[in-house]
Amino acid sequence: MLGEDLCEELREVSIVNLIVSMHLLTSHSIIVIGMLISYLPQHARIIQRRTSEGISPYFILLGTTSATSAFANILLLPKSRQDVACCKELETFHCVAGLLGIAQLGVQWICFTFIFVLFLVFFRYDTADVPDDEQEQLDAEEQPRWQTALLVASLTLLHGLAVIVVTGVLTTAAPQHLGLWAALLGVMAALLAAVQYIPQIYTTYHLKHVGSLSIPMMCMQTPGGLLFAGSLFARLGWGGWSSWGIFVLTAMMQGLLLYMAIYYEIQARNRNIVRSPIEGQPRSHLHANGFNDDTPGRFTSHPEHYAQTPEQLQEIIDRQESDAAAETTPLLKPGGIGDPHRNYDTNRG
């Protein structure tokens, strides 16, 4: 009878309920689409760079297991199970409105799982598109080994399999304990989310650059996480703290990581401006003339460092030979020492 009453509430089509339902449907749909869009920059950045360098393996492990636990948690909550059961009796509009909360966590789980797959596919890829300054730093740093990636993959798959098996057993043998199992999954998801960004924050701080981590993704997800938590709170109330509390914790940690990423990105851009003040020129080098610039001196010993084409190299050499022929400074004139136009007889007064 209680289930029939809840389904009847969803079926009511009064003007007020219709307006509220349309508003909730629109807001939840925007959140689902926004969440999907927010993950796309991270997917694209890993694929574009052809490496998962800069992304902590343990961040991937904690994030994927947390998303799996959160998705299983909301699927097993009594309110969610009731909404799913009511779909057999409700029209499509009311059914979709009731399941959008579940869809939000489902999209989040799918998107993060895809990051997990990309992390494994592009783990330490040989032909990665990494800037030279980052590559030099990577060569000096101890990079994660393939054993670490294998461990992350194994633990993630074992966790997902364990959630499926335990849920199946309880659904068949002891359905009265599903609520307790859902709460346990929620606590697990919250704890994993609370520490999820700690290894990534450490990795970013250690490398001093963002690597394959996407700043646009974090710019969208940090405020989006708080908005998402608010939408789940409006749907589940205080009783669903194990679901919406995850995203409050995640948004706070992600905000800290976003601040670090922007700071290091600004530093990297400033270094690039100092090294290459003119677009298209090679980086500055400290040469024999003692100046750190991109202009060859009159007696630069390695003019090839300044030329990008044979024509430019020949032009530099011709200019240096012309300057050397006209040189009258002592010790520098080719073929002799001293100025031939000056009398160095010290006995003359």
- CA dist list (Å): 72 to 17, 26, 68, 80, 239: 29, 24, 6, 11, 16
Q: What is the pLDDT of residues 181-217, one digit of tens each?
A: 988 998 898 889 889 899 999 999 988 888 889 999 9
Of 74, 36, 311, the residue nearest 84 (C-alpha): 74
pLDDT of residue 2: 46
Place of tokens 């993959």: 153
Q: What is the pLDDT of residues 277-329, one digit of tens each?
A: 444 444 444 444 444 445 555 556 666 666 667 777 777 777 777 776 666 65
Of 31, 202, 2, 203, the residue nearest 101 (C-alpha): 31
Q: What is the pLDDT of residues 141-195, one digit of tens each?
A: 556 788 889 999 999 999 999 999 999 999 888 888 888 998 899 889 888 988 9
pLDDT band at 63 (very low <50, low <70, confident <90, very high): very high
Give the Cα separation of 334 and 338 in Å (integer): 10
Per-residue burial over 240-250, b if 16 or more Cβ lie within 10 Å, else e, is: bbbbbbbbbbb
Of 136, 101, 118, the residue nearest 27 (C-alpha): 101
Q: Please report the DSSP string for 123-173 in residue order.
A: TT-TT----HHHHHHHHHS-PPPHHHHHHHHHHHHHHHHHHHHHHHHHHHH
**Contact present, 111 and 36 (Cβ < 8 Å):** yes
When the pLDDT of each residue in the chain is averaged and rounded to a whole number, the result is 75
Q: What is the pLDDT of residues 317-344, one digit of tens each?
A: 777 777 766 666 555 555 444 444 555 4
Write down the pTM of the prediction: 0.66
